[in-house]
Amino acid sequence: MTDDVLSLTLDLLRRPSVTPHDDGCQDRLRQELEPAGFTCTDLPFGPEGARVSNLWALRQGPRDGPVVVFAGHTDVVPTGDAARWASPPFEPQVRDGVLYARGAADMKTSIAAMTLAARDFVREHPDHRGSIGFLITSDEEGPSVDGTVQVVRWLQEQGQRLDCCIVGEPSSTARLGDIIKNGRRGSLSGRLVVHGVQGHVAYPHLARNPIHDVAPALAELTRTVWDGGNAHFPPTTFQISNIHGGTGATNVIPGELVIDFNFRFSTESTPESLKTRTLALLDQHPIQYDLAWNLSGLPFLTPPGPLVDALSAAIQAETGVTPELSTSGGTSDGRFIARICPQVVEFGPINATIHKIDEQVAVADLAPLKAIYQRTLVSLLA
């Protein structure tokens, strides 16, 4: 069982599919899915020259039942300095039982495992209930504007129902199966532009320093308790990610300061409440400013139920591990799928090396990962 997953994983890893490029990965998946009875639809979106590859594949069983979807991305982040890798990042190598390559953990191993799990499930259960779907994009690691979010809109237009979705993101931490992500926090970003008056540092009375003006407000923002979280989500956090101000000269008071910040918020807060509280706080200080907002995702949560229970039981059967449910971490394409699918979880290999040099996955985890996905299908559709 390891050999077939390893073979497909290696094939995908050899393709340098840095966002938004797919480099033939999705065509390779079609080669496995179409003979198993999947109808595959290519859904390219985006401008010419930066076109995003999206694949929707569906196999409808002969009996009524839920629509269970596997989701993932074939794109990977840039490698950084390839000379710092122990082996070329797009020439996968197995050393001492470990597979090294860009995308090994995030997330071509998951895509290979779920594809072959579905193929083998169909072979063993050709008269299965419900339907099995695949939603694969090459725009998850980038701006995420022409990938899953566009496919979700298309599915809505087609009237396609989704009941359960497993996103193959690397969710495990210490060992395969220890974490299922059953939700994610929302993400709200802001760009604050504080206006001052440029001048000479020796004549501050003729200028107004926006850095000095906003400093007390920033200190207050960082100290604010936005909410206390709840049983499913940690408290909402506020973080400043970038500050840009000044001309580069040491004797010039800047005329403007640009601050980028982000909220990762729980279901105890809303985008509207965070915006309102932020504006109220800023207005208590003598500053002139403009503030633009960008909401990139709402929080979602899948409580224990058919999908969580089936996946948890499959993990226990294959690994002996009792998984913990978690909503920690960043955003994923699950935030888009949750708009049309009531049960969305993330499960995949260990995430310790994702986006790092010498990204890796244990070869011994490949067969159990495929088996977990396949057992989950058996529980939900057989």
Identify the pLDDT of residue 2: 58
pLDDT at 330 over 90: no
**Could you say which DSSP state residue 234 is in?**
P
Across 11-21, average pLDDT: 97
Number of domains observed in the structure of the chain = 2
Domain boundary among 297, 322, 342: 297
Residue-wise pLDDT for 87-106, tens only, equals 999 999 999 999 999 999 99
β-partners of residue 326 are 181
Q: How confident is the model at residue 12 (pLDDT cuts 50, 70, 90)?
A: very high
pTM (2 d.p.): 0.91
Give the angle 101-17-144 at the CA atoms, nearest 5°: 115
Q: Are 106 and 363 in contact (CB under 8 A)?
A: no
- Nearest CA-CA partner of 167 in 136, 191, 143, 201: 136
Across 357-376, average pLDDT: 98
Q: Give how far Cα 210 sits from Cα of 206, 216, 246, 360, Å.
A: 13, 11, 10, 46
Across 38-56, average pLDDT: 95
- Nearest CA-CA partner of 291 in 328, 311, 261: 261
H helices present in the chain, as ranges: 2-13, 25-33, 109-124, 148-158, 210-223, 271-282, 306-319, 334-337, 366-381
pLDDT at 129 over 70: yes
Q: Are residues 332 and 350 in the same domain?
A: yes
Identify the pLDDT of residue 168: 98
Residue-wise pLDDT for 247-273, tens only, equals 999 999 999 999 999 999 999 999 999
Residue-wise pLDDT for 194-206, tens only, equals 999 999 999 999 9
- Beta-sheet pairing, 54-60 with 39-42: antiparallel
pLDDT at 4 over 60: yes
Across 270-284, average pLDDT: 98
Q: Are 351 and 170 in contact (CB under 8 A)?
A: yes
Domain boundary among 265, 297, 329: 297
Q: Are residues 234 and 339 in the same domain?
A: no
- Beta-sheet pairing, 63-73 with 183-184: unpaired
Supply the range of the domain harboring residue 142.
2-184+299-381
Residue-wise pLDDT for 131-160, tens only, equals 999 999 999 999 999 999 999 999 999 999
Q: Are residues 73 and 42 in the same domain?
A: yes
Q: Are residues 292 and 334 in the same domain?
A: no
Average pLDDT, the chain: 97
pLDDT at 48 over 90: no
Across 106-114, average pLDDT: 98
Q: Are residues 202 and 156 in the same domain?
A: no
Q: Are residues 20 and 144 in the same domain?
A: yes
- Tell me the catalytic residues: 75, 140
Residue-wise pLDDT for 216-252, tens only, equals 999 999 999 999 999 999 999 999 999 999 999 999 9
Identify the pLDDT of residue 50: 87
Q: Are residues 136 and 206 in the same domain?
A: no
Q: Are residues 210 and 231 in the same domain?
A: yes
Q: How confident is the model at residue 68 (pLDDT cuts 50, 70, 90)?
A: very high
Domain of residue 93, CATH code: 3.40.630.10
Q: Are residues 223 and 363 in the same domain?
A: no
DSSP SS3 for 166 = strand
Q: Are residues 15 and 150 in the same domain?
A: yes
Q: Are 181 and 326 in contact (CB under 8 A)?
A: yes
- Nearest CA-CA partner of 195 in 207, 210, 206, 205: 210
Q: Are residues 246 and 268 in the same domain?
A: yes
